[in-house]
Structure 1
Amino acid sequence: MAGELRQFLALIVFGNIENLILASQGVAAGVNPIVLAFLSLCAVVCWLLIGTFATKAAMKYARYINFVGGFAIFVLGIQAMLGAIPGMLAFF
């Protein structure tokens, strides 16, 4: 089983990094931390259930899943950087 999941390792690592980015965006936007924590926990539980029950079906689509997930992480990272530019320019 570990060998089968190895192809998803990069997506797991970068997905966790993106979770941290999204959480910091929520805090910077002034979202209630309790609501943010609850929604984050709900998302984690949903992904755990999907991963637990749909892993075997998803194996044949691993390349597509990695591409779509990586692209989403890339786009959200760019969005986070673009959103931070006005705040960075305020210091100059």
Structure 2
Amino acid sequence: MSIIEEYKDFWALIILGNIENLVLGCQGAVKGVDPVTLIILSLIAVVAWLIIGTYGTKVAIKYARVIEFLGGLIIFVLGIQSMLEAAGLL
């Protein structure tokens, strides 16, 4: 079994995770966070997810559908929050 087939259940999560990183970066920019701080925090988050993903995938593979749903829900909520804050409604 190739690595692509082995992790096919996580493709959407990988794509949505990248979108989540963009949403968080946009939130930081809207809030006026120092760009260097934003870069450092973003890199820490990416490395943390890489470590979690590398070692936790074997355990989490049986929960792929739940993880994918929760990831999508969190991204949706963060996106709505970001839009509301940018519009000055929060």
Give the TM-score of the pair, scaled to structure 1: 0.85
Q: Distance in 2 between matches of 1:30 and 1:81?
A: 15
SS state at 1:86 partner: coil
Aligned CA-pair RMSD: 1.4
Q: Percent identity?
A: 57
Q: How does 1:51-90 map to 2 (within 5 A)?
A: 51-86=53-88
User: Residue 70 of structure 1 aligns to which amino acid in structure 2?
Assistant: G
* Partners of 2:13 and 2:68 within 8 A in 1: yes
Large movers: runs of 4+ above 3 Å? none
State the match for 1:25 in structure 2.
Answer: 27
1:37 deviation in Å? 0.7
Q: Which runs of 5+ in 1 are unaligned?
A: 88-92
Q: Distance in 2 between matches of 1:49 and 1:62?
A: 17
1:4 deviation in Å? 2.2
Q: Which runs of 5+ in 2 are unaligned?
A: none
1:18 deviation in Å? 2.0
* Partners of 2:13 and 2:71 within 8 A in 1: yes
